[in-house]
A and B are shown apart, each in its own frame.
Chain A
Amino acid sequence: MGMLSIALLLSLGIMGVGYAAWTDTISIYGTVETASWGGSLSNPVPTSANITLSVVLPDTLNVSVSNAHANTQYTGSFKVNNAGTVPMRIESIVLAPPSGTTATVSGVSAGDQIDPGETKSAVVSTSTPIGCMSYNFTVTFTFVLWNE
């Protein structure tokens, strides 16, 4: 009995020492806080008669022309903003004027970069060769991060 107990003591003691072998756990904790991004349109202002502008979506401008005179330029201004915290790039500007009419945007163009907090001024112009015509169309911007 005594021998058995001593043997048990030794073996369990060795097991205890083995179990108590040194170990350590170290950690790296990372937190990623992402920025805000996205361009937007604002401040639509008619700069000639017979035209109205409105921002219908953050990236879409609606242009309406009523009772247009033939071959007359109708214009309106608006702003292109970057209210985020990452520089943005204008990937595309899509105008969809009705058949027979023309429309252009000046002041900004595809590929332009806009830094955070920056605002650029733009002008939309449209005309029609047909008198007494009313029409409307949209101007849609696509914004992407500058590094895309």
Chain B
Amino acid sequence: MKKVHFVKAGLVCLAAVVVLGGLGAVYSYSSGTLRAGDMVATACFDGPFTWVVSNDDGKVTSISPYGVIDPGDDGGGTNYDKWGDQSSDDPSELQTRGVECARYDKDVARTIAWRSCDRKEITVLLENAYPCYYPTVFFGLKNNQSFSVKIQSIDISYDIPELTVTVDGVAVGDVLSSGQEVTGRLGIHVEQSAQQNSTYNVEVKIVLVQKEESGCGWGWWGGWNWWGWRGWWGWKWWC
């Protein structure tokens, strides 16, 4: 009778294991990458990209609490002005936030940038670009979670050597405490070998993970020795 009772309990536990394991897996899977097409109402405006600024869209932009982000992006075109007030004299070097950068005396290309509804994606478009054009895009990255978040990886991929793409201001291993915002910077330099009438693509993927507040905790420890059937198991303090 007692044996039957234990068998039943075992079966119940096994079922619970399977269900809990399945729930864990589903929950984990559901928190993966969101694409533009996956946007749902509850996801909107929750993403970590809080703002984005291009330094060649003709607008000097001020973001609190940093002040002016892209001085010099004044919409001018000194000796040639293809875009009017939609763009400025073209930047020829990477810009530092709040500091004017070197610019050509012509407004030939322009760069615009915007966020997706869910604020998890930024799209950057360089138009009429040419060799040595060098726009900068600044963005705010904020931890909107109630726990600390770590930048686990930053992968930059582009399919051609005709561009040089850099991301800084955010780095692998950086930890953002809850509510903390950092400023990132994307630079795209069009190289001399770029071909005319071409389209090149760039993708930067940033993976954020939950940062464990404490590095230690109790965990299960167990196994079997290879030379025999004698088992060992128990709780262990992991760090």
B47 nearest CB neighbor, chain A only:
A26
Q: Contact between B209 and A15 (Cβ–Cβ < 8 Å)?
A: no
A2-B9, A10-B220, A30-B203 are known contacts. Are A36 and B197 too (CB-CB below 8 A)?
Answer: yes
Least CB distance, A82 to chain B, in whole angstroms: 11
Q: Contact between B190 and A32 (Cβ–Cβ < 8 Å)?
A: yes
Q: Contact between A25 and B196 (Cβ–Cβ < 8 Å)?
A: no
A19 to B199 alpha-carbon distance, docked (Å): 40
Q: Spot the interface stretch: B57-65, B68-76, B93-101, B116-124.
A: B116-124
Mask of A1-40 contacts with B, CB within 8 angstroms, 1/0: 1101111111111111101111111111111111111100
Residues of B within 8 A of A10 (CB): 220
Least CB distance, B11 to chain A, in whole angstroms: 8
- Decide if A137 is an interface residue (CB 8 Å cutoff): no
Residues of B within 8 A of A87 (CB): 80, 106, 108
A2 to B12 alpha-carbon distance, docked (Å): 10
Residues of B within 8 A of A93 (CB): none
Least CB distance, A70 to chain B, in whole angstroms: 46
> Which single member of B17, B125, B165, B219 contacts A8 (CB below 8 Å)?
B17
Considering the complex, which residues of chain B in the window 181-212 have a beta carbon less than 8 Å from any beta carbon of chain A?
186, 188, 190, 194-210
Q: Contact between B207 and A25 (Cβ–Cβ < 8 Å)?
A: yes
Least CB distance, B177 to chain A, in whole angstroms: 14
Mask of A97-132 contacts with B, CB within 8 angstroms, 1/0: 000000000000000000110000000000000000
Q: Contact between A12 and B17 (Cβ–Cβ < 8 Å)?
A: yes
A5-B13, A20-B27, A31-B201 are known contacts. Are A115 and B210 too (CB-CB below 8 A)?
Answer: no
9 nearest interchain CB pairs?
A16-B24, A30-B202, A11-B220, A5-B13, A28-B204, A22-B210, A25-B33, A30-B124, A20-B27
A-B contacts, 22 listed (Cβ < 8 Å): A1-B9, A6-B13, A7-B220, A8-B13, A9-B16, A9-B17, A12-B21, A15-B21, A23-B32, A25-B208, A26-B206, A29-B124, A30-B125, A30-B126, A30-B158, A31-B125, A32-B194, A32-B200, A32-B202, A34-B128, A86-B128, A148-B132
